[in-house]
Amino acid sequence: MTDQIMVQLSRLPDRLAAHVLLTVAALGIGTAISVPLAILANRLPRLRGPLLGTAGVVQTIPSLALLALMVPLLGQIGFLPAFIALVLYSMLPILRNTVTGLAQVDPGVREAAMGVGMSSPQMLLKVELPLALPVIIAGIRTSAVWVVGIATLSTPVGQASLGDYIFQGLQLRNNTAVLIGCAAAATLALTLDGLIRLLEAGVQNARRGLVSAAGAGLLLVAGIAAIPLMKSPVGAHVGAKSFTEQYIVAEIVGNQLREQGFTAKVTRGMGSSILFESLVNGNIDVYVDYTGTIWANVMKRTEIEDADATYEQVKDHLKAEYGIETIGRLGFENTYALAMRRDDAARLGVRTVAELALHAPAMSIAGDYEFFGRPEWTRLQETYGLRFKDVRGMDSTLMYNAVRDDNVQVISAFSTDGRIAAYDLRVLADPQNALPPYDAVILVSRQAAAKPGFIEALRPLVGSISDERMRELNKAVDVDGRLPVNVAKE
């Protein structure tokens, strides 16, 4: 347990630094944009409605969706999309409070300021802003707490943050990691909030000591962002989707590159389509995808061909359309497969999806977030006439527990998942071939393929991991609770 905590804490400096950089930059820029905009809206009341309305609408977009939307809009992953989404999020409380603060300045005070001969800028700086300051600061504090919280959602767009603890912890059922992530984010939020409040109290009561102390505290927090500057630059950027197997193979690819003399950084927990986009535009150099995923999502093909034919066509298509090099098949196949408890299957006499269809109307099915939006699901339903009582998208880790505990009766499992054996689940056969082949393939971006020795460095991985081996590795993480980094070394 202590080892576990130490391993997790060793990642804290980098993640905290990335988190601080993201939040402080977003909050700073958000304030720098919002306060002048609010001043303008105060002078031109016609602007007020549209401005607050727009900021309000941005706020209603679910934060995870807003972050994810930034990726295609900007055509890149990592800092920029997360930063811009957070700036947008930070604006509403600051805008609203600044507008409110300025509007509630006593008209008598305003008239007096004009009457004694203050110019418009003098009135703003000497009278309006100082009187509105407590309300403006309250807005910035609200914003600070929000931004620190929402920044944890930047993991799926490929930006490191304290969210890495939470997303990976949930995926790997590592509660220590989840707790460390939550505690660090909460501490950061409270620290920022407290320091800003202290700064305001100092300004209000004209106490220099308090102002300097709070200012120094804020600078110190901002200084955390500089930690990674002391490190060496990254050579190859390896991507991974958000499930255990991806974490492991990404580490294996990273290790292989390091052995061949490249520096490598692994970014985990990215969304499937974001990851592919990133490979296309070179933000990610290499990752492992599955032929069936490319076949359906990228090539928009709906018919099914055998594994070899699929592989050849995927390889040709990626090369021709995107310049992406397909190095080869890793050796295992991670296909979607419907699974249920072995005892249930035996009791009902279900061995195939066709037999399942008879019992489905009384059953609930769970799948990962993607599954029910994929063509495979549609085809499964059409081919076998499947109709379930209830269909639930959930975190892929939780769904194995859900079927074990009979909260749902069927799940869309992955064929290499270690928990199939560990939880005594039965994978149902697909006699009509409704599900396409999903061979794991190593994809390299056009830019990385041009690096001398890069493709050669990865070639030894081709055919090196069998279905059986992959299931063992997955089990080591998901069931035995070991870390992907350590499992990948074996």
List of residues contacting other proteins (CB under 8 A):
106-119, 122, 126-127, 130-131
Of 119 and 263, CB closest to other proteins = 119
Of 103 and 307, CB closest to other proteins = 103
Of 69 and 135, CB closest to other proteins = 135
Nearest approach, Cβ of residue 198 and other proteins (Å): 19
Of 37 and 113, CB closest to other proteins = 113
Nearest approach, Cβ of residue 132 and other proteins (Å): 11
Nearest approach, Cβ of residue 211 and other proteins (Å): 16
Of 118 and 299, CB closest to other proteins = 118
Nearest approach, Cβ of residue 119 and other proteins (Å): 5
Question: d(Cα 368, Cα 361) in Å, to the nearest integer?
Answer: 20
Q: 169 near 242, Cβ under 8 Å?
A: no
Nearest approach, Cβ of residue 112 and other proteins (Å): 3
Of 113 and 363, CB closest to other proteins = 113
Nearest approach, Cβ of residue 203 and other proteins (Å): 11
Nearest approach, Cβ of residue 126 and other proteins (Å): 8
Nearest approach, Cβ of residue 23 and other proteins (Å): 31
Of 122 and 263, CB closest to other proteins = 122
Nearest approach, Cβ of residue 477 and other proteins (Å): 60
Of 118 and 427, CB closest to other proteins = 118
Of 108 and 349, CB closest to other proteins = 108
